[in-house]
Amino acid sequence: HVLPGFRQAAGVGEAAATTPVTRFPWNEPFASSSLNLLKACTKRSATVLLKDMTLVRGLLMQRLMQSVIVGTIFWQTNKDALKIPMLFLLTSLMSMSNMYVVDNTVTRRSIFYKHRDSGFYPTWIYVLAESLAEFPLQVLEVMIVSLICFFFVGFYRSTFVVFLFALLLISLAFTSVFKAIAANVRAASGAQGLAISFAAFSMCFSGYIITHDHIPGYFVWIYWLVPTPWILRVLTVNEFSSPGPDGRYDQLVPQPGSSPKRLGSVYLQSFAIQDEEYWVAAGFIYLAVLILVCQFLYALGLQHRRLDYERPVMVMARKSRGMKRGEAKLDPRMQAMFVSTSASQVTDRALQLLASVSPQPPSVTIALKQLSYTVEVAAP
């Protein structure tokens, strides 16, 4: 709000280019380089995250318990067809478990508004720094889930790297989706409802509850739009396109009226899942694009929307009539006086004007809890 007034003050007079006002920091949008801002903002985001150890411990315990329960249910199963329901269950848990992001984002966005409107850092720095600070915790969560579920169930060992990377992208994708929702919805309850609806909607069109072949034609586009079908396709194709334990996925199964098929392909086709190996790479590309798009929408919402927040207003100490709140304009009489004076006097006048610009602090309410007092009674 004040920056246009500063520039106007610096531009008054014939020798405006020589005035020291043009060398002051307010002519630059931010006081430091992007790299320094990114380092400082990442450190701050990591500090905020680590201060909430209740959340960190809760997430790790949640992942541990979920993994042990799912892995125990499907412990070293010999029925390979059950691995597809297990992967669907794991995908659903990984998506729904990130719902806490909505509340955190809604809580933190008012703090971001104050920092951004005060010129602490650009929005993209905040979004990138937050992602970098949260990434190690997400990797740790995914490692816990992957190591337990993969070896408890008994997947083919050569597929572990893709399995691990796919679960990491699941976590990043749904985190990005939930952040984008929270940055653009006013109330936390509304954001929670929309996020839950998206996750449930994605599971319904995953291709497991209703297979791709049985989805009505006018709804089949949703199957290709939501992330869960892509995630499930990556995990299942990664497993069943491999030779499998003892090479049994490569065994040929006779088909009536057609050539024999691999057992792994038969499992996939029983759920109408495409069995070509290139779907793994296609799924990774889709998830990467989804993450980037949702992070962009998240940054866009933070940059242009102010939900349940009043911008800090910078005003002049003396306002003329008709001036709207938040404007910082030069007094017309003072401006006319500046034009008629010399360049050296312009500098002094401009500095005086800038000194008159001051922030209007917000109102503060102090609440006292557990207030008590004592009374001394004189002895009779």
Q: Mean pLDDT for each consecutive 10-residue tract of the chain (380 residues)?
A: 53 48 50 84 91 90 91 87 89 88 88 84 91 93 92 89 93 93 89 90 88 86 90 91 83 80 86 87 94 94 78 50 55 60 60 61 68 70
Q: What is the pLDDT of residue 206?
A: 87
Token pair 């411990």: residue: 57
Q: Identify the domain boundary among 304, 325, 346.
A: 304
Inside any domain, residue 345: yes
Do 146 and 230 lie in a common domain? yes
Do 283 and 335 lie in a common domain? no
Do 293 and 317 lie in a common domain? no
Inside any domain, residue 374: no
Expressed as residue numbers, the domain containing 224 is: 32-304
Q: What is the pLDDT of residue 181?
A: 93
Inside any domain, residue 167: yes
Inside any domain, residue 369: no
Inside any domain, residue 47: yes
Q: What is the pLDDT of residue 137?
A: 92
Do 19 and 74 lie in a common domain? no
Do 295 and 329 lie in a common domain? no
The total number of structural domains that make up the chain: 2
Inside any domain, residue 366: no
Q: Identify the domain boundary among 279, 304, 329.
A: 304
Do 47 and 12 lie in a common domain? no
Do 235 and 134 lie in a common domain? yes
Do 88 and 196 lie in a common domain? yes
Inside any domain, residue 375: no
Do 242 and 346 lie in a common domain? no
Q: What is the pLDDT of residue 321?
A: 53
Do 165 and 55 lie in a common domain? yes
Inside any domain, residue 380: no
Do 11 and 62 lie in a common domain? no
pTM: 0.71
Do 21 and 67 lie in a common domain? no
